[in-house]
Amino acid sequence: MSEIPTEQTYIAALWEQPTLCLAFFGVQFHTKEGQRLYQQSGIQDEMFPALEAARSEGLLLTRQMMTEEGPVSMQYWRSYADLDQWARHLPHSRWWQWLTENAGKGLGFYHEIYQVKTAEALYERGTKPVGPAVFCSLHSVKNGEGKSKERQQHFVGAANEAERIAKQK
């Protein structure tokens, strides 16, 4: 990651990740029993070390959040293929099995997966790096320059090139 002073507006060069995939994994607690059941499953204890290890398999960044329904893991993956490959092995496959077997017992589980086709990550002055600014290089931009469409096209061009190369393989 480049060092950009937080006194400047900057962008994360998302075009460096032309096959970016964004995933959200959430657990909803409907009852105290459902929350207790999940806590006793051990999934939470395994999750953080497993996600750290997944960095070598294409996980770029993960952020844990809490909603009124329960915890959510927001994950940036290098590609959907990387996420799909990782999800088919332990420990994720065991977690998925446990969650599907226990769904409806006071808890629920969901995921949302987005394959990014164009993206922009702009951070105004005073913003510390978060999201893509953690795993992309950073570039200063003039505050209010209004070049979002141009930056989005830069991402599209990189994504099209990545797709062309993948088809040749």
**pLDDT per position as a tens digit, 87-120:** 988 888 889 899 999 999 999 999 999 999 888 8
DSSP 100-126: HHHTTSSEEEEEEEEE-SS---EE-TT
Looking at the domain covering 21-115, what would its CATH class be?
alpha beta
Q: What is the pTM of this model?
A: 0.86
* Mean pLDDT, rounded, for 34-42: 95
pLDDT above 90 for 3: no
Pick the most confident of 51-60, 95-104, 160-169: 51-60
What does the block give as tokens for 61? 């960044």
* Mean pLDDT, rounded, for 44-69: 94
pLDDT above 70 for 84: yes
- The pLDDT > 90 percentage for the chain reads 59
Kindly state the helix (H) or strand (E) to which residue 151 belongs, with its residue range. helix 148-168
Torsion of CA 28, 93, 20, 66, to 10 degrees: 20
* Mean pLDDT, rounded, for 34-43: 94
What Å distances lie between residue 118 and 38, 138, 142, 154, CA to CA? 36, 17, 21, 9
Residue 61 CA to residue 1 CA, distance in Å, equals 13
Torsion of CA 158, 133, 57, 111, to 10 degrees: -90
Q: Where are the domains of the chain?
A: 10-17+117-168, 21-115
pLDDT above 90 for 50: yes
